[in-house]
Amino acid sequence: MKLQRHNAIRELLVGSRVTNQDELRRKLRRRGFAVTQATLSRDIHELRLYKGPGGYSLPSLNGHTPAAETGEDDGPPSMAEVMASFGLRVNHAMNQVIVRTVMGGAQPVAAALDHEEWPDVVGTVAGDDTVLVICPDSRRAGEVESRLKKILES
């Protein structure tokens, strides 16, 4: 339940402007999520959202890397979440890994992946439903692939 709501929030934020939590609450309600402001305050904290001029934004939308700031990252936090709801399948070819996602899911997945800053990931390119992950070489592409597959299946 919470997971779907979190993803709904992510999607809302990339699509529209949200200035405060009550506005977010109303928009979510229209999408079938009826929760209170208190819950959203907690969600916002968990999603590590930023608030600035123009309302709330995803960490990946403003280039912030919360992990780098807080210094500690307790395992794979959002990657598992995001993959669970968007990820479909994973393949690799040469030094590239292809992650197929549901429509519109590539962006969040790539953002989460960037956020994790895996040493074997040189960069990502996200379309609408496909993420292209570039690795240093073929071997490490294979490792990244299996790592993503494991996350996907967990």
Distance CA 136, CA 127 (A): 21
Residue 35 contacts DNA per CB under 7 A: yes
3-class DSSP state for residue 125?
A: strand
Select the binding partner of residue 2 from DNA, its own copies, none (C-beta < 5 to 8 A, by kind): DNA
Residue 92 CB, nearest distance to its own copies (Å)?
8
Residue 62 contacts DNA per CB under 7 A: no
Which residue in the set 128, 139, 150, 153 belongs to the binding site for its own copies (CB under 8 A)?
128
Select the binding partner of residue 146 from its own copies, DNA, none (C-beta < 5 to 8 A, by kind): none
CA neighbor of 109 nearest in space, from 84, 72, 134: 84
> What backbone torsions phi and psi does residue 110 show, to the nearest 5 degrees?
-65, -40
> What backbone torsions phi and psi does residue 119 show, to the nearest 5 degrees?
-65, -25
Half-sphere exposure of 77 (CA within 13 A, CB side): 15
Tokens of 139: 């071997």
Residue 34 contacts DNA per CB under 7 A: yes
Which residue in the set 20, 38, 117, 127 belongs to the binding site for its own copies (CB under 8 A)?
127
Residue 1 CB, nearest distance to DNA (Å)?
5
Q: Which is nearer to its own copies, 8 or 97 (CB)?
A: 97
Distance CA 116, CA 135 (A): 14
Which residues, at least 6 apart from 29, have a Cβ–Cβ distance to it below 8 Å? none
Contacting positions for DNA (CB under 7 A): 1-2, 5, 19-22, 34-39, 41-42, 44-45, 51
Per CB under 8 A, residues contacting its own copies are 45, 48-54, 57, 59-64, 66, 69-70, 88, 91-96, 98, 100, 102-103, 107, 110, 114, 122-132, 134-137
